[in-house]
Structure 1
Amino acid sequence: MTDDIAIRPITDDDVESVVVLWEACGLTRPWNDPRDDIARARGSLEAVILVAERDGEVVGTVMVGHDGHRAWMYYVAVAPALQGTGLGRQLVKAAEVWAAATGMQKMHLLIRPENGKVRGFYESIGYAEQPRVMMAKWLDGRPLDP
């Protein structure tokens, strides 16, 4: 049950717990420093990181931001022991509410192709694949990672 969980913006005291959670959920990659991602989001007026807290412990997160046209959702994480309890749905809903309050009408997210479990989760709450080609480029000139 998730009735005893509060969802609120991240604080300085949460950062290390958030990184540990993201690592436990397999969300980090060697080429992306999660602390840098947290700092950039916290320094933006167009983004927020929400944490789910239970008994003083960070047990979930969602990062949501917008580019002035669309909202984007990242780092949706639920502590492994709480997966399947509805907390992920609560976090996504909180992100959607935040995005709508900023005037955004559409939410986007990216899923790695091999992550079928996560794809199933998003499909179960109304998200669907839209055929698009995503292209990327590292601005420092390094080659793209898989």
Structure 2
Amino acid sequence: MTVRLSDEARRLIAAFEDETDASAVDCVVDDEQDRVIFVVAAGEMGSAIGPGGSRVEELEEKLGRDVMLVEDAPTPEGFVANALSPAAVYNVTISENDTTVAYAEVAHEDKGVAIGTGGKNIEAAKQLAKRHFDIDDIQLT
């Protein structure tokens, strides 16, 4: 699926790549939560975070916003699990009927983390899953 980037998203990706030495494949500006969400190329999350989170902290300071990182994955199941991180996701099943729904089995003690304050984490995961794999909804089980 092709992801279209706005000029602002392209500018933010350039800033991300300059600051972290990692590649970003997508960027979503979440004005409601005053944050920027980057989808980091698979295998480059460590470089994006930096030692002790230093690169993310520097990027947040430079952008003046919170930054959320999601590692890319080749499969929709892997992508949904990554989008819900740091929650422990045991399994993701994709169901295709009238709509495409990802059912994510999340550790009971991590459901709050997966949902996030005011639902911000699950909403970000849903938005990214729609953009990258045309998944209409994510349900936690």
Interval of TM-score (by shorter of Structure 1 and Structure 2) = 0.3 to 0.5
Higher helix share: 2
